[in-house]
Structure formats: C-alpha cells, structure tokens
Amino acid sequence: MDHPDVLEDEVKLSLEKPLKIVDMTNNKYFYYQYFKYKKSPAKFLKTIVRYLNDEGFVITSHFVKDMR
C-alpha cells in the first residue's frame, strides 16, 4: 500500500465494521469508516475491495472528505 497515512489497523477496522458499503460494478465494493482523530480534513477511510470467485482483496485504501 502506497498511502503512508493509512495504517493497517485502520483498514482492518474499515473492513470488519464499516459505516457504509457501496456496491459498485465489476464486483467492486467501497468500504467506509470514519476516523475523527485524523488531522487532515479527509477523515473517511475509503477501502476498495474487489471480489473474484467469492474471495475479496483490497485494491487500495485512502482517506477522503466524504462518502460517495
């Protein structure tokens, strides 16, 4: 993962207890979790997961300002 501001524990939490999951096309899902302690205005962690053959893998994870 090339996002130094994202911790592995934050990604794990966003996958285990997401605030919201958005079902996108092509078996992609956006998982969101809020981290109020972040100093930047982007406090929602967006983790993009793709599922193939019933197995998911994280494509990327980064902080955004809002859930879309």
- DSSP string of 17-29? S-SEEEE-STTEE
The whole-angstrom separation of Cα 34 and Cα 10 is 10
Whether 18 has a pLDDT exceeding 80, the answer reads yes
* Predicted confidence (pLDDT) per residue in 36-47, tens digit: 998 899 999 999
Tell me the mean pLDDT in the region 41-54.
Answer: 94
Spatial separation of the C-alpha atoms in residues 49 and 64, rounded to whole Å: 16
Q: Determine if the pTM surpasses 0.75.
A: yes
Q: Which residues sit opposite 48 in a β-bridge?
A: 30, 60
Residue 2 is predicted with a pLDDT of 63
What's the whole-number average pLDDT of the chain?
A: 92
Which token pair is 62?
A: 């980064």
Domain ranges of the chain: 8-64
